[in-house]
Structure 1
């Protein structure tokens, strides 16, 4: 085109007009392709939504369910089986977890540990078997009343784009007093809150105030402390942290454990040393069950092998 202008085959005004038309067309072609992509994504979402509508609901009508009655009994998993994408994750698995004890479950890394936590929390349902908490079958109780007694700490806790205080209190069914919040902040080692621009009223946004992994963990611990549940589920809470952050989180967790039923799953065995009972499982079978000191005395025990392997690095 430039050669044609030089050779006077195309006037300069025509050249400018043609370039303007091409640029304008490119803009609309780009916009049109973006809309086509958006339409295809919407079709996929609608297809998933229709599949959801076609599913048979498994949740029972809440008014027909019995409220969870806290009585300080054990947790019993009875003959549980669970499949995931045609993979048999649990097969006729049974386990008793003592009330008011810190119980650690130790597996190899590929044994679906998080799945068991989600089953106890009733986020997912077993294909066969039953789970009894306080001698009450979870599938027959009102889950809203059940969740009031559960605190669930995962590897990557959720933090909403709200203020710090809203993140701490949104799950509560009461209004906490200021002194209670102050005590929880100290116990959970959340003093970093006081370094934020607006303290408890600081809004958390990805573009402005972005919390680190250990800060999110401490905030989640503080939230559980405010809730004060009777059952605490810890799903590898320190696995994504460095050793210094892990130490701080472990100290904060220690303040959370008094008079609670605690179930801990951790790949790092240093995290489970202070548990009242450590249960070592292999292929859905309990192969060792004792505290840290007694398990370390089993010369060729599975727990000692895993501990020696981790401490050798």
Structure 2
């Protein structure tokens, strides 16, 4: 019932279309039911009259029937066109809601779910749901009208024969319900298998350069063949079930005709049924069986749509781990003092990455986090904009707990240049402008100049309008990194997180960027994660983080003199591995 209520809710904005669609369905059903009755009336009352009477009336009757079918044409047109448009609009609303919900979900959701599966829910499932949204109520409504209407008219012709017909129909209905229950798990499994196909496809195509660099095309083909074959097996199982389902229903339909012929013959023999009535009865049997056929044939579409909508609802009911608390306040007038107070964190059920870490960063300070991979440096930074929430302890900015602040204002106050640079599909200008909505061209150019990328952009054939390719494939790693730095220049936030911000740059570019970053970090609180220790020598404080927590802290000179972990790493980089 919960799923049904959520499904019905999507009809509310289109109530007029829905009700008018149903009204047109009533007209179409009434016309179909009326024709045998009109024929029966004419056969008994008009066609038994003399020639002159028939010729006088037939013209008017023909015009009336023509008008009736013109009306049916317009109703049918509305049902097919606007009914589908209603379904498409509902699909659009669902896709909007699903995409918006994807945007709200926390990083932890994306850590556990595959992009290809999410795309399958966004595209494939929603198309099936759209078909269900349009055809479901319409088919059930029209079919019910025709079945009930034709059954009532059949009762008027011969009660005994119709009751026999009802008995066979009830057996057919019970069989249909039983088979539908049996088929439901197979359709749900099919949704999972096609999602796996999409997942493998997205994964392989996104990593095509890695695939080719390792000459692993055959491996990827085999992985895809396996998931593709599993989907085929799922479909084969469904079609075997569907084959038996439709074949049995076809048998029951044939049995209805057998019952009509045999019982009709017996009733004609004992004089309780006229031959003309049997002919009309057969016409109504066609009207009776046709909607049953429609419902049976729609079973596959219903199962697909229902399975898809269940998956859709499951995502919408997934609550994001990180949301604004009630009464959250916007962060304003940021000075930039950051405090980590006994902060602990772990990913899912893994061992703790951070354990009771306490750290104070003064407003406007530049601090550097160094240490071995896996020590928790990036995690420490990810907790600040609340990409994840600390398991215990608290983090404050200017004395305000970040959990008491609105997410939007918190993240607007923090600029991040990540190690793994992501370029959106579009132009150079659009990628830089991502740092500030509505940025002017002069602001974009200024940001590029500060990031030491302007001259390179101007050397491109189309300058700032140059297409960067999917994930920035047409740019080098260093160029992409400088564009991402330009985004942060454009955003101009009071707090900066530079996660290996110069890791992909050559020495010359690194020198220029370091000057730019130094300028950008003035009067701003800056956290730098770096493995290249040459980039952090001028930091106000350097903090050595390992899996044991904070091990050392101090200036570059102090840590070198201490001859500890930092000095060891520094000597490895600048005096040779020997």
The interval holding the TM-score normalised by the smaller chain is: 0.7 to 0.9
**Residue 67 (structure 1) aligns with:** 330
Q: Partner residue of 1:36?
A: 231
Quote the residue 2:87 is aligned against: none
| TM-score where L is the length of structure 2 | 0.44
Q: 2:412 aligns with which of 113, 127, 148?
A: 148
Matched residue, 1:286 = 550
Distance 1:67 1:36 in 2: 49
Match of 1:307 in 2: 570
Checking the alignment, whether the CA contact within 8 Å between 1:70 and 1:134 is kept in structure 2 is no
User: How many angstroms apart in 2 are the aligned matches of 1:128 and 1:208?
Assistant: 38
Gapped regions of structure 1 (runs ≥ 5) = 1-29
More strand by share: 1
What residue number does 1:137 align with?
401
**What is the CA-CA distance between 1:105 and the residue it aligns to?**
1.2
CA contact (8 A) 1:164 1:201 kept: yes
State the Cα distance separating 1:233 from its structure 2 match.
0.2
Question: CA offset at residue 245 of structure 1?
Answer: 4.3
Alignment correspondent of 1:127: 391
Q: How many residue pairs are counted as aligned between the two chains?
A: 278
Distance (Å, rounded) in 1 between the aligned partners of 2:516 and 2:329: 34
Over 3 Å counting, the alpha-carbon distance change for 1:161 and 1:104 in structure 2 is same
State the alpha-carbon separation in 1 of the partners of residues 311 and 355 from structure 2.
Answer: 30
RMSD: 3.1
- Tell me the secondary structure at the aligned position of residue 342 of structure 2: strand
Q: Please state which structure has a larger fraction of its residues in helix.
A: 2
CA contact 2:343–2:393 (8 Å) conserved in 1? yes
Matches of 2:355 and 2:494, distance apart in 1: 29
Give CA deviations for 1:220-254 in whole Å, capped at 9, x if unaligned: 11111111100000111233444444334334323
How many Å apart are 1:264 and its aligned residue? 0.5
CA distance in structure 1 between the partners assigned to 2:314 and 2:463 by the alignment: 45
Q: Output the CA distance in 2 between the equivalents of 1:75 and 1:198.
A: 43
Q: Helix, strand or coil for the counterpart of 2:498?
A: strand
Q: Alignment partner of 2:426: what SS?
A: coil
| Secondary structure in structure 2 of the residue aligned to 1:297 | helix
The alpha carbon displacement at 1:70 in A equals 2.7
CA contact (8 A) 2:559 2:567 kept: yes
**C-alpha displacement at 1:72, in angstroms?**
0.9
Q: Aligned to 2:421, which of 133, 151, 157? A: 157
Task: Say which one has the larger Rg.
Answer: 2
Q: 1:110 aligns with which of 368, 371, 374?
A: 374
Judged with a 3 Å threshold, the aligned counterparts in structure 2 of structure 1 residues 245 and 173 are, in CA distance, closer, same or farther, namely: closer
Normalising by structure 1, report the TM-score: 0.78
1:272 Cα shift? 1.0
Structure scoring higher RCO (CA < 8 A, sep ≥ 6) equals 1
**Deviation of the 1:275 alpha carbon:** 0.7
